[in-house]
Amino acid sequence: MNNCTSFKPSIDNNSKVLILGSMPGVKSLEVQQYYAHPQNRFWKVIGVICDEPSISEYSYDLKLKILLKNNIALWDTIKTCKRDGSLDFNIQDETPNDIKGLLKKYPNIKTICLNGNKSYSAFKKYFPDLLEKYNCHKMPSTSPANARYNLDNLINEWSKFLLS
């Protein structure tokens, strides 16, 4: 089992939407970048929604700046865990990030999009009161392991809450 630790949030005072993943995968942890696996569709979805179709080719810093320019913050529900590989199914001994503290510090956030089942279940487990207080949405995972959704379906579902 590998010890995994999530990254610092990408957020500013203008952020209105918070996207929460579960825990970065092996490739992301290796290079210290959210959604770094080339088959993860997160940046492709964001590129279409933010009218930046080539975002996948941009530097990581520029990707984060585009999110912030569109009032979108990024973090993870889980702060630390043990896991072999990248699959959320293998997450054990998790501890949550301080989501409540973040939301208190950034009061403009009104919508929380939870990227996949594990992010949602951990959020629900550790922050059930926030489900009532915020506009929370369980989103289909952008992971390549989520074969039920093709890119067009993901864009359609994600745009409902990121463009509102």
CA-CA distance, 89 to 106, in Å (whole number)? 31
Residue positions annotated with a catalytic role = 40
Q: pTM of the entire structure?
A: 0.94
Phi, psi of 162 (to 5 degrees): -90, -20
**What is the residue extent of each domain of the chain?**
2-162
Cα end-to-end distance, the chain, whole Å: 40
pLDDT tens for each residue of 61-70: 999 999 999 9
Would you say 6 and 76 are in contact if contact means Cβ atoms under 8 Å apart? yes
**pLDDT higher than 90, residue 60:** yes
pLDDT tens for each residue of 84-129: 877 677 778 999 999 999 999 999 999 999 999 999 999 999 999 9
**pLDDT higher than 70, residue 164:** no
pLDDT tens for each residue of 7-22: 999 999 999 999 999 9
Class of 2-162 per CATH?
alpha beta
Q: Which residue type does 114 have?
A: L
